[in-house]
Structure 1
Amino acid sequence: MSNILIVEDDEHIREMLLYILEKEEYSVIGVASAEAALSHCMQEKPDLILLDIELPGINGYQFCECLQRNHANKMPLIIMLTDQIDVSDIEKGLASFADDYIAKPFNPRLLVARIKANLRRLSGLPEPVTTERLSSFGVTIDVPTRHVTLHSEHIPLQKMEFDILYLLMSSPNRVFSRDSIIYHSKGENYYIADRAIDNQIYKLRKKLGEAGKHLETVSGIGYRFSASVT
């Protein structure tokens, strides 16, 4: 049975979510603040978090920053619950920490379907190999812990930055289209503008310094990690 944590300050919405998901026979806990959610996650690790972004006190974005610091090796799935209509805000969440988002007001059947789809994707992922490590041109990825270093110095990466770097470094010289990069990071049926992928590549290049030149743009197609010495 999957464990789901609901982080929603609106009592009516929180109680409705609890009712819907308990009927689906999930193990569900509901809390009204990010602070309470962090405390819960210290005791039990949920499989999936339904996260309201506009929370009192610590907001959803800040909550995820705290969560990533403590659970970087195995973050739970996160679905944003948002009434924000600004596409850039949604893209920010998907690039930084979220696996999916549901706009308020939401259809209960659609919500359950999206939860099941994300949990299926989680169950289909292989367990990480504890010794798995990628290294090239001074950049080292410790895959199980999602820890990235450049010449032994830690580089903090956001969720999508890590996903892109891991994808490209794991298949050196292979060209990935933007759609393919989105698919590998988020699964099927997600809309993220091309400029969002381009922005992630730009930030990665800056963080990787001289090694960033190996993140090559292939005009009209996408990106690759070049294994050539230039």
Structure 2
Amino acid sequence: MDALQMKKNVARLAIQHVDDGMTLGMGTGSTSKEFMILLAEKIANGLHVQVVPSSRDTENFCKKNGILLRSIEDVSSIDLSVDGFDEIDSRLRLIKGYGGALLREKIIANASSRVIVIGDESKRVDFLGRGMLPIEVDSFGMQATISALAELASCLGLKEDFRLRRNGSELFVSDGGHHIVDAFFGFIPDPQLLSEELSNIPGVMEHGLFIDMVDCAIIGMSNGECLVLEK
């Protein structure tokens, strides 16, 4: 079974958690898009929900498909957020942000009563750090921030491999106006510690480690089944 079908399978299971009248937080990326396609179909058939988008891409999809949008400033609470992930371990700790929306995705997840993440089995890891860890940084003093990241990596025994994300010939700019440093730390033995230390560095706006934020993960398997992991 290919990755697209696995994404469709997890989206189909996740949509069952949506009830009429909910305020939903909506993630960014290809798996989230499969969920939004199903959500738009449900809305066309009479479901009433409103969505707080995590990115301009998600906002544009909702506008084109008849999904009612709300700003996070205009809602008192978010009942459920649904989002994808880039890596997940057995303790439901995530790396997110390959799509560049990690700051807003984390704000929405933190404001949600319940968080469900969806993805395919290729994203499962024994230890976080198989790929890159996106770190959103302010443009002011960016080289000083990267130097601080390198010093932290050295102190924690992690690899010092940092790459500024680009969009063609230009530096990538997030919806919040920041740049992204993709950190290739290698195996991360203590994600909680790294998360805390990254947040203490001036210039780091947010990072892609999502620790103790997920209530349920739905993972599509190549045999057609879905693995459901609960906190």
Bin for the TM-score computed over the shorter chain: under 0.3
- Per the normalisation by structure 1, the TM-score is 0.25
Q: Higher relative contact order by CA 8 Å / sep ≥ 6: 1 or 2?
A: 2
Q: Which has the larger radius of gyration?
A: 1
Point out the structure with the larger helix share. Answer: 1
